[in-house]
Chains A and B, each alone.
Chain A
């Protein structure tokens, strides 16, 4: 018996060895044939085997443990022609195949045969990818903007026309982690929140995990937005220059002997306009500008090693005198730096190491009647990350990694040259995760994962289980579900109307981190060729939400934990996304039905309850229904039209019910106006709707290069949407003024590509 057992194991071992010895693999990078840019999440596979994968965030793919033989390998990516090649895999061969995909041209009316895998694109649960060319085509207020484009997706809402902040699935903007080349960006806005800091000429990939995001990310309750800068054209030097009404931008990229580089710059061009206005109008800023730079250098050190260094620097500056003895100054911005090393150990093991540095600064200053009010707010975040992707067998793809860093927060307020609040907090943080994408068959995918987090101030250790699954009953339907626990150690003090004063605060001893659970179920379908229809339902809880108590006029002398109010919330909803991807006319319709609620102690109580019985209420950005329609039509070889239409039911607001005055405060002659209200935010503003159109004409700029003239009209029928109601107490009875959002606005820009 013992000999039989021994023989059994020998046969198994030999069989395995033979299998291992005979299997082949294929791996490599997928890039753009014209520019050499790596393509993220490009599809690759074998039609015969109905087996495939997608390239990772560095454009690398690997398919190990393949039966030797002759195959037809395909690869595809939206906006590129499908790639096909016949290959022969010998036993034991590890084939390195770097694939260059050719961009589609406008002459190509119909895309040829596409694999089903390619049509699915990046359709993981809760995920949306933004086409960077669409960002530049969409009509936008003065300046093409990544965040404004993201706001058109279902599940993503905007607070107002003036804000590029992302309110995703009922969460506030601080619940979304924003990564630029894997580096956290803390205040990604210019022009007081009007635009994001991301130059559309510099970026390559924009991916939004709206909810249920995987274990490789953490630190925010809601969502993750990853943005990657271009690497730079590896084949030729190229660039573009754009002149616009608000700002102009310039970018250039090119190869060098060992790699590529990219540089992009953008600056506002408002000075002539401001100078003209100052001749006849008071209260015009004496300084008002913003700029940003993006840069990247890539070194292809060896076949298996790539190095890159990327940076971003941007600033907003305004100086605004008001009155003969009063002035306001604001200086805020971000700087990021990341160094990346990608190393391919083998066709089974891929690694990426990165160090990141991020700084956010914010220096507002008021000087009123000889009394200065100043704030100095700095955040420094330095970290290192290491990620491994391991393919032990074709059914498993294991990702694991660590992220560790130091986060320093400095806030110093002074009034009349005296410090009245000073805080310096330095935290160490660390995370470790492991997840396994397991495909037991062609129809099932299971992705369990777990993430551990540590935050030093308070010695918090948090465990975050994650799980997602997918079932494909047919090739045209993907049913998905996900669950995750998420923690957040930071909170943002911000004003919806004005992001220039944003301050981040952290959890600490006595202030527990927020946490919440997310449940997502959905279906991604291809109802007809060239169309996509996605439906997703979500529910998320939010516990221990800590935010600065809005009822503290002065925080001097208070303990750190007394600065906050601690509450809870939840959100749920449904999103439908219908998309046409092919032909002269392309576009999408997105619909969101969403509910979000918050509750804080002592807030939204009944009027005579003396602060008891707090009730849940909807925050202002809660909108019940939100519809976005976007379409692009190729009118001719030279002309293209893009339009977007947004309809949303009204945001919530508090209707004031009663009024009284307080006359007798001992130290003042002022009377104090006061309202009584019922439930907070139980009323709705009028519905919001707006249509924007854009026409672009391509041509030639002398013999230098291609040109594009873009004419846009924002709010075509000048709908005066309501932002909020303002109460004028100088009148009796009180007069209610409607503060409106943007009127009709034309915009023009001209771009030259060389």
Chain B
């Protein structure tokens, strides 16, 4: 399988020691074409910092990011052509309808008008957004806005699709549709980097899981392997055990330094 995203030894610190935060502390990550990799971690574990460096919003202190063979740190403009992003915060689309917003982003990303219209229609159908497709954004719910943001990232997806908390505010029925659509994007050839706290549901979709803790990779395995090694029933239990012990280890380390 061809690697689409290769991250090696990535370090990023905000602020100077001792007060600053080491957001990423030597992160390695690989995602192949057709793979969905779940990036899990507690709040402040460094997930969004990692994503921001991949799409050229933040500059790493050390390490490398290669996206479809291109050095994404040296050429962020080229990297942006290869990656589409659903941001953690909802992008306000006041004044636009979901259909118009998805269509405009698809065409901005270079899709042909007819192709984008077809793809937009497919996404609206697949996510059951039809009744809200032509309603202005100020009248739609947070969940519909979130799904629209997902569709804006999925309409002309590129080699890498980065989804930061795509299921927030989405109802259980549409979450199921969303997971299916995420899987479909990967099956059509894209690599998907999925940042989520929804560990239980993500388990059914991801090919591999990377768990971040205090900016470091605690685990990088398939869900099945993690469950088997740990002896737990599900990925969520494995995650809680790993991150819990990670926090404990970090606290102990801080105590010993103090």
- Is this pair of chains taken from one and the same complex? no
B contact set with A: CB distance below 8 Å: none
A contact set with B: CB distance below 8 Å: none
